[in-house]
């Protein structure tokens, strides 16, 4: 009798233990999204000077991923309710192709992210996180090194509410792809990571950013080319009216830039262009017309009459802690565009990574 009884007990244990394990795993799986959400919310609350929140987390164990929904971050003492960072959907997963190369890294795909820099909010006094704070926060949210990063339908905006009228300069429909950020392949390259981004700017212009970077270093090295083309100059009126007291009746605005950074030293230029531009609106008062007429006179003097382009080239050079723009070269370039040779509406392709690297040895 005792043998039969022991067998029955053994049979019960044989089924009970797996059932208990299954129940535990199911319960853990059900609680896992809440646990991850609470951890991320705790990280966002503890970023100095900022507060944030995550609405929901979805877990996809079969592909080693989780989706962060409704995450935002804003300045603690912000005057507005506009989030500084707003990430509606962020998919964080293992990059499986890198596993075959012996590396465990992650990839992030963001849909509809927004970075809204409200001037009044960010300038409010208060504790501001440094690079270490941001790095620690990102590491806790994404514990595996990020190797691939994508943005779809993103937005970047600069907003100043105290200006009259309000200033709102934005780049929308941002598409960005950055690959090999952790140097999984192409290890022999000095700048192993590739970056490409496009977007629609204020005034319905086109933005393009291309380059290579090295994020492995504490101060990343990079070689970037930026262009903003065919933007309606009237979209700048809020900005130019507030800071210069002028506005545009018509015109096309462009901005072209190249920068290279090596060991914390930056070299490059910015080249703004105004084409077929006209000042003085009919609604202006006498003083406005007088001021804009004076500006228009100087614009005529400094404009290349053949191409109808007002432009200059601003050289930028220096340590990242003390970057300076060349004042006299900027002034001379205005005259150069007007009277010698008109600047072209394109990136000049004259700045290379080695240019910044050479200057570090001076």
The full DSSP string for 331-343 is: HHHHHIIIII-PP
- Measured distance CA(2)–CA(224) in Å, rounded: 81
Helices and strands in the chain, H and E counts: 8, 16
pLDDT of 335:
40
Residues 6+ apart with CB under 8 A from 253: 203, 205, 228, 231, 232, 233, 235, 236, 272, 273, 274, 275
Strands 309-311 and 85-94: unpaired
The structure tokens listed for 193 are: 């990571």
pLDDT of 197:
96
Give pLDDT < 70 ranges for the chain: 1-15, 100, 124-129, 131, 184-188, 244-245, 279-311, 321-346, 348, 355-362
pLDDT of 177:
96
Query: Domain extents for the chain?
Result: 17-185, 187-362
pLDDT of 151:
96
Which 8-state DSSP code applies to residue 192?
-
pLDDT of 311:
66
Alpha carbon of residue 167 to chain centroid: 19
- The predicted model scores a pTM of 0.78
């Amino acid at each position: 009798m005792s043998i039969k009884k022991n067998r029955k007990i053994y049979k019960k244990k044989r089924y009970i233990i797996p059932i208990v394990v299954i129940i535990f795993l199911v319960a853990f799986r059900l609680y896992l999204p809440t646990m991850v959400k609470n951890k991320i919310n705790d990280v966002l609350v503890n970023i100095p000077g900022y507060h944030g929140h995550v609405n929901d987390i979805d877990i996809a164990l079969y592909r080693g991923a989780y989706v962060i929904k409704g995450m935002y971050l804003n300045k603690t003492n912000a005057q507005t309710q506009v989030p500084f960072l707003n990430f509606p959907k962020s998919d964080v997963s293992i990059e499986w192709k890198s596993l075959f190369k012996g590396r465990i890294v992650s990839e992030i795909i963001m849909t509809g992210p927004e970075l809204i820099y409200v001037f009044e909010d960010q300038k409010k006094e208060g504790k501001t996180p440094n690079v270490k704070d941001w790095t620690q926060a990102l590491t806790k949210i994404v514990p595996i090194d990020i190797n691939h990063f994508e943005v779809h339908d993103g937005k970047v905006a600069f907003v100043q509410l105290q200006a009259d009228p309000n200033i709102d300069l934005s780049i929308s429909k941002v598409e960005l792809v950055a690959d090999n950020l952790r140097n999984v392949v192409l290890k022999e390259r000095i700048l192993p990571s590739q970056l490409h981004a496009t977007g629609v700017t204020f005034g319905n212009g086109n933005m393009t950013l291309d380059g290579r970077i090295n994020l492995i270093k504490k101060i990343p090295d990079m070689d970037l080319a930026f262009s903003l083309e065919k933007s309606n100059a009237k979209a700048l009126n809020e900005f130019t009216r507030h800071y210069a007291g002028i506005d545009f009746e018509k015109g096309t605005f462009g901005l072209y830039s190249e920068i290279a950074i090596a060991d914390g030293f930056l070299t490059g230029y910015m080249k703004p262009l105004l084409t077929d531009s006209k000042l003085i609106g009919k609604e202006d008062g006498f003083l406005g017309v007088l001021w804009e007429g004076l500006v228009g006179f100087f614009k005529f003097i400094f404009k290349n009459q053949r191409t109808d382009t007002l432009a200059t080239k601003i050289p930028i050079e220096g340590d990242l802690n003390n970057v300076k723009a060349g004042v006299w070269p900027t002034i001379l370039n205005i005259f150069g565009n007007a009277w010698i040779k008109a600047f072209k509406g394109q990136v000049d392709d004259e700045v290379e990574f080695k240019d910044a690297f050479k200057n570090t040895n001076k």
